[in-house]
Amino acid sequence: MIDGLLHGFAVLSSWQNLSLCLLGAFLGTVVGVLPGLGPATTIALLLPITLKLDPTGAIILLAGIYYGVAYGGTLTSVLMRIPGEASSVVTCIDGYEMARKGRAGAALGIAAIGSFFASTVGILGVMLLSPPLAELVIAFGPWEYAALMLAGLSLIAFFAASGLAKAGLMALLGLMLGSVGLDPISGTPRFTFGIPELVDGINITPLALGLFGLSELLYLALVKDTKAEILRPPTSLLGFLPSKQEAKRSVAPVLRGSVLGFLVGLLPGGGAVLASFLSYAVEKRLAKRPEEFGRGAVEGVAGPEAANNAGTAGAFIPLLTLGIPSNAVTALLLGALLIHGVQPGPMILERQPEIYWGVIASMYLGNVILLVLNLPLVGLFVRALEIPRRYMAAAILAICVIGVYSTNLATFDVLLAAGFGLLGFALRRGGFDLGPLVLAYVLGPTFERSLRQGLLISDGELGILLERPIALGFILAAIATLAAAVLLRNRARVAD
Amino acid sequence: MTASARNSAKPAWPGAVEPAMTRTARCVALGGVIFAILAWREAAKLESWGWDGPGPGLLPQVLAVLMGILALAVLAWPGDPTTEPEGGARPWANRTFLTYGIAMLGIALALPWLGFVAPMLVATIAMLRFGEGTSWREALLYGLLLTAGIVLIFGTALGVPFPSGIAERALYSLGLVRGA
């Protein structure tokens, strides 16, 4: 493992990869600061640019954005009570109250140090758990893979904020979009509706840029272009240091948040958002002074901030070792890897160790960069909020159009992206979660291939599952998850 | 408790409570039903099981049926007009939204014939002048700056080929962009 990590740092030490790591962390923070423009949109926007990079450089850049966002979102949560990113929603509650009491620096300092610690714990977890998990997964056959993906999709639907029916509908739409084009086994065209351009299938770039980038553009049009009040951040670095009592009160929440966030990050549908919500609930329950929650409790900042960063790191385990993303952002990272011809999964450690260890090393370095960059540059990052909507919207449109076109040099893809932009807008406005759609789209082809291989081996007999306990376990877990979701929601409705 | 109040209550996890359906959600669900029917028509033409095992139509057929059922479920879910996004504001009555939407579709349609530079310049100017109400001068200046920036970053620095148009041919002769 140490050899692997050293190899990763050697990969990272090239000037190009170092610059990409720095750029990713910086861009991630800026994106985290800007409300609305989330990591999925930014990764989608940058996806075509990464085509010019080697796979390791591309994933280092995109991963930098992903974990940088978790840091950046905190700034606006604390200083403006506006979450720059979904995983920072919880920090708005007590972080902003601390800032109102003149403790903005302490809140940001605790969040930054806690995030750094939690990320380090998360990366260590990734390093320790990935190799044994990869060895376990190598023994998986097609049935196990298909069942694992089914369980993953069920969990995503379970956790989706939009509700089970809407999330399920999105997952099915994603699977359908993933099956457009030539059937991978027989070569028969499917869902092409007589359009020759669809024979090659729908590329992830128009899908991602349309759903996240162009729909964002349309959404921006409906948002009032007003300036929010920003509480003053400290001007000196000493101003970010918490008091002795604040530091003492933060230790246990950071430790709990790190472990909880990491574990939640492993779950499909989990990740940073759920981790931060759960951590807040846990801290409130364990607090000696629960009445302080909502009025500037240090624990309400330290725990969730640690949890969302650990969750971000944890999400890399299913992505890299199983090839299964746990949320929309990691689905786009998977898409980026697939574009570069890299198939994440249990064999990545053997076949492309430079990518795996390069990403791990970049996560270590990226977190140091974020800690060093973030606090001194708070003022600069907050100024990003002053970019007027009209300038941002036109730039998003330009980047989306040229980005989509450059992937396949196909003008049809731009038209397709515009269609997905309208679809994404309607879905978001209707309260549909785009995460399950993108995830199912990315997983779809592998899921179908595994399922059909499994059916072929068993000659259509499902009884074979009784001889495959792992696959059966995953299927039962999927059924139990969906049943639990229905029961819990019915209970909630009855209680109302 | 009303549906809107239920939505504002803090759930145990983000998706713990099924939100009430809005009018937009129902429209999407109706689109889902129509799409499921069209998809079924396409999928039904494909073989679901052949001599060598599962065929290309198996999964699409299953997906189309499940999608139709779920879309109907969303359509039938209890609704609440008070939960409409932005208080039920109509995007098609919003000038900025319409301008942005037309700019987006306009570029997508014009790209094969006019290339990227000219439509992008026009779209940016339209977005700023008509969508945002800025002055012609600001719209023109920003349009030129943005288009030039995109050409220099993507075309010149990154070597991304641009779709062919009058402006691109001129830029190509100057060595600023590569031909598609």
**pTM score, whole prediction:** 0.81
Candidates B4, B24, B92, B104: best to mutate against A (most CBs of A within 10 A) is B104
Yes or no, beta carbons of A456 and B55 under 8 Å apart: no
Question: Is B52 at the interface with chain A, CB within 8 A?
Answer: yes
ipTM above 0.85, yes or no: yes
Find, among A74, A55, A63, the residue nearest to A112 by Cα: A74
Joined tokens for residue A315? 């999400």
pLDDT tens figures, A373-392: 777 887 777 777 777 888 88
Q: What local confidence, expressed as pLDDT, does residue A371 receive? A: 83
The tally of domains found in chain A comes to 1
* pLDDT attached to residue B5: 39
Query: Do B89 and A222 count as a contact with CB atoms less than 8 A apart?
Result: yes
State whether residue A189 is helix, strand or coil: strand
Q: Which chain A residues are closer than 8 Å to B64 by Cβ?
A: 176
Question: What number of C-beta contacts closer than 8 Å exist between A and B?
Answer: 226
Per-residue pLDDT of chain B (180 residues; tens, 9 = 90+): 333 433 434 444 444 445 557 778 888 899 999 999 999 999 999 988 887 788 889 999 999 999 999 999 888 877 665 566 655 567 888 899 999 999 999 999 999 999 999 999 999 999 999 999 999 999 999 999 999 998 988 888 877 788 888 888 888 888 877 655
* Domain residue limits at A291: 2-495
Over residues A49-74, the pLDDT tens digits come to 787 788 888 888 888 888 787 777 78
CB contact under 8 A, B60 and A394: no
Test the B interface: residue of A159, A186, A446 with most B CBs within 10 Å: A186
Q: State the CB neighbour count (10 A cutoff) for residue A51.
A: 16
Residue B80: the pLDDT is 64
Q: Are A289 and A150 in contact (CB under 8 A)?
A: no
* Cα nearest neighbour of A397 on chain B: B104
Least confident of A57-61, A137-141, A244-248, A332-336: A137-141
Residue B65, token pair as written in the block = 């049926």
Nearest CB to A222 within list B77, B86, B127: B86
Q: Of B35, B46, B53, which is closest to A456 when you measure between CB atoms?
A: B53
CB contact under 8 A, B46 and A188: yes
Determine the residue among B4, B18, B84, B90 to mutate to test chain A binding: the one whose Cβ has the most chain A Cβ atoms within 10 Å: B18
Taking residues A322-350, what's their average pLDDT?
A: 82
- Short-list B117, B127, B72, B109, CA closest to A419: B109
Cα–Cα distance for residue pair B151/B170, rounded to 1 Å: 12
| Token output for A155 | 């969990």
pLDDT tens profile A405-421: 887 889 999 999 999 99
Structure confidence by residue, pLDDT tens digits, A250-309: 999 999 999 988 888 887 666 677 788 888 888 888 888 888 888 888 999 999 999 988
Q: What is the rounded CA–CA span in Å between residue B177 and residue B162?
A: 7
Q: Across the interface, do A427 and B28 touch by the CB < 8 Å criterion?
A: yes
A444-456: average pLDDT: 88
Query: Mind listing the pLDDT tens digit for each residue in A113-143?
Result: 898 899 899 889 988 888 888 887 777 888 8
Q: Is the dihedral of CA B4, B5, B6, B11 positive or negative?
A: positive
